[in-house]
Structure 1
Amino acid sequence: MPLDTRARARQALRAHVPELADAALGELGRGLDNTAFLAGDMVLRVAEHDVVPREAALLAMVAPRVSLPVPAVRFADADAGVLAYPLLPGRPMLGRPVPAGLARPLGRFLRELHAIDLAAVEGLAPVEDAHPAEWLEDLDGPAELLRVLRESVPEPGSRRVLAHADLGAEHILEDGGAVTGVIDWTDAAVADPALDFARLYRDFGPEFLGEVLAVYGDVPDGFGERVTFFARCAALEDLAYGREPGRIEYARAAERSLAWLFAN
């Protein structure tokens, strides 16, 4: 019988950090792709077995190339499907007021991330060339909002970069008014750069997005349309995700975002 996520985390601890083998395992969070536990000051993310070594290698490659902290992997256990790293300071931004000054470092971070030579990424991140219309497959939500999305599908962009691809408030850590980390790189892919602005727009609004883009630099024609489309889809995804027990904060944040995402 396969081990559950907690048992897999415990197994990996015993193998790699025996001094924490008997430490209490507190659940930090649970997403669609992984579950995170905390043992002492060590985060253990339990995910699909095959993605763990790839994500560890990706983080090691990204870390020296960007100006914001990313997880520094302590060990990657492919057999248990566990990625472990020391706890980064700060708390996720989901459901919290945004301190002034957070947009600029995120704009710089995205400029650096998207400038990484794709040759350095080969084998570390999948290539995702999906047409924006494919985001509508299995998407649920209010009929009127789904109609707006179906009537506003943008043309796909041609540029591809290394994208975090899930850069929402829950994956941005903040402490004392500063960004202290960007976590959960499970969905990182060679993809449309607009993906990395969509959840920032969804979670923090148009003014914040404008500040990020001002630091990031020039973007091609049609970029804003794709950011808006992806942000709207991501908001409806979180509305559905937030219906499940223990995830109400996702639904509340998504509901707030509808005011600017569907204003027209």
Structure 2
Amino acid sequence: MTTALVEGRAADLLRTTLREHVGPGPRRLLVVGLSRDDHPKATVLVFRPTDALPALALKVAMVPGAVPAVLAEAAALTAAAQLGPDLVGGTVPRVLDCRHAPDSAVLVTSVVPGVPMAVDYHRWRHTARPTTVRGDLDAAVSWLEQLARVPVPDRATSAPTDRVPTDPAAVAALVAARWPGDAEARTVEATVRGLSRELALPPGLPRTMVHGDFWCGNVLRTGGRVTGVVDWEHAQVAGDALRDVTRFVLAYLLYLDRHTDPGRPVSGHPGLVAGPWGEPVRFAASGAGWLSELVQAVVAGHLRRTGRDPGRWREALGIAAAEVAAVADEPAFARRHLALAAELLRCC
């Protein structure tokens, strides 16, 4: 990373942080993630000159508007560390330092090993095979189940942001606030609010830490096993694990036709034709084929285990789409999720 990416006082803060953590002299920096929203952040791995493995991971606010997100991630990881020193087998990064100024912030964490599941996801025909898709879903759900077994304090609070939904009613309120007076948003809001009692976590069941942006790009694996989960800026300390389950499934489905030309059949999924945005989600929600069976097994299975109606699995995915619509930074991306939520919730 050079000042071509980070300039001004942000670059000064980054240089100071690097010097104090790895010393003066040469070092190698590898940018492994650069968000493309209006408030971009960079994820950087830091290598000492003679090391083959990275020594540190940095999250850098590229502009002043990204500072709250970096600080929210620091707060969430600090709260996670208080739940246990080796959370979920050491798969959660540890905060080593956090520096911030009015117009920049740098979060320094330990490095968790593994390759993003998204790399496998985009390999040739990976998502065309039931065995590999089942393996992805099983790995993600297994990690979430381990996280759910970590007790959280009765009065635990979320990371410090008012954009962390706690339940369906909160999602409904965020949708209404983002699109006041919009007819489609009013419909989604009313439907989600109507489902809030049925699909909220039942009283008496323990809450768990929620990652909040749990998708295959943030899940790292080694040998098929989850060895790291990154990007915790949307985390909630005491929430409903259903949010992570449905977010993972929704994101997994959305890109199944990414490498297929419009109008062409999607390999491995008879009846699925690449077309309008979100078509794989509609296909899975229709109940057709092995993909729908796997999705239903994951979402309905979680609903059943947590005392909710497993027949509401489509609506649970609809609420997940509504949540993305409410909190996504990019307006067009948010609007597409709102329309998808309206479709998934139409049967309610």
The two structures share one fold, judged by TM-score above 0.5: yes
Tell me, yes or no, if the aligned pair for 2:78 and 2:94 is still in contact at 8 Å. no
Shift of 1:168: 2.2
Give the structure 2 partner of residue 45 of structure 1.
Answer: 59
Match of 1:10 among 9, 15, 18: 15
Find the aligned partners of 2:75 and 2:155 in 1 and give their Cα distance: 10
The 1:50–1:202 alpha-carbon spacing in structure 2 relative to 1, beyond 3 Å, is: closer
Q: Which residue of structure 2 lines up, in the alignment, with residue 184 of structure 1? A: 231
Output the amino acid matched with 1:119: P
Cα deviation for residue 237 of structure 1 reads: 5.8
Q: Are residue 221 (structure 1) and residue 308 (structure 2) matched?
A: yes
Give 1:111's aligned residue: 145
For residue 152 of structure 2, what is the amino acid of its counterpart?
A: L
- Aligned with residue 97 of structure 2, among 76, 97, 102: 76
> Is the Cα–Cα contact under 8 Å of residues 235 and 254 in structure 1 kept in the other structure?
yes
Q: How far, CA to CA, are the matches of 1:235 and 1:123 in structure 2?
A: 21
- Which whole-Å CA distance do the structure 1 matches of 2:154 and 2:99 have between them? 22
Q: Which residue of 1 aligns with 2:276?
A: none
Deviation string for 1:70-111 (max 9, x for gaps)? 2244x2234454222225320252873553412223222222
Matching residue of 2:63: none
Whether the aligned pair in 1 keeps the contact of 2:73 and 2:231 (CA below 8 Å) is: no
- Does the CA contact (< 8 Å) of 1:114 and 1:193 recur in 2? yes
Compute the displacement of 1:221 (Å): 2.2
The answer to whether the Cα contact below 8 Å between 1:108 and 1:216 also exists between their aligned partners in 2 is no
2:220 to 173, 191, 195: 173
- 2:256 is aligned to none
- More displaced stretch, 146-155 vs 25-34: 25-34
Q: 1:136 to 1:52 in 2, by over 3 A?
A: closer
The code of the aligned residue for 1:15 comes to E
Distance 1:175 1:91 in 2: 9
SS of equivalent residue, structure 1 residue 71: coil
Change in 2 beyond 3 A, CA 1:232/1:54: closer
Q: How does 1:1-264 map to 2 (within 5 A)?
A: 3-4=9-10, 6-18=11-23, 22-24=27-29, 26=31, 28-30=33-35, 34-40=41-47, 41=54, 42-46=56-60, 47-48=67-68, 50-51=71-72, 54-60=75-81, 61-62=83-84, 64-67=86-89, 69-73=91-95, 75-79=96-100, 80-86=105-111, 88-93=113-118, 96=122, 97-98=126-127, 99-100=132-133, 101-119=135-153, 122=156, 125=159, 129=166, 131=169, 132-139=171-178, 146=185, 149-153=188-192, 154-156=195-197, 157=200, 158=203, 160-174=207-221, 177-189=224-236, 190-205=238-253, 206-213=292-299, 214=301, 218-221=305-308, 224=312, 227-234=316-323, 236=325, 241=330, 261=344
Counterpart Cα distance in 1 of 2:293 and 2:137: 9
CA RMSD of aligned residues (A): 4.3
Q: Name the CA shift for 1:239/1:13 in 2 (closer, same or farther; >3 Å).
A: closer
Counterpart amino acid of residue 39 in structure 1: V
Aligned-partner Cα distance in 2 for 1:63–1:207: 37
Question: SS of 2:15's equivalent?
Answer: helix
Structure 1 spans left out of the alignment, 5+ residues? 244-249
Alpha-carbon distance in 2 for matches of 1:123, 1:139:
24
Using the size of structure 1 for normalisation, the TM-score is 0.70
- Higher mean alpha-carbon deviation, 175-184 vs 115-124, is at 115-124
Q: Is the 8 A contact 2:72 2:159 kept in 1?
A: no
AA matched with 1:221: R
- Alignment partner, residue 246 of structure 1: none
Residues 139, 122 of structure 1: CA spacing in aligned structure 2 closer, same or farther, 3 A cutoff?
A: closer
8 Å Cα contact 1:163/1:193 also seen in 2: yes
**Residue deviations 1:8-51, cap 9 Å, x none?**
33321111221676534636222658432233223201354754
Cα distance in structure 1, aligned partners of 2:183 and 2:216: 26
Q: Deviations over 1:161-212 (max 9, x none)?
A: 2211221233122455443421111221122332112211211245454444
What percent of counterpart residues are identical?
18
Tell me, which stretches of 5 or more residues in structure 2 are unaligned? Answer: 1-6, 48-53, 61-66, 254-291
Contact 1:76 1:82 in 2 (8 A): yes
Q: Give SS of 2:305's match.
A: coil
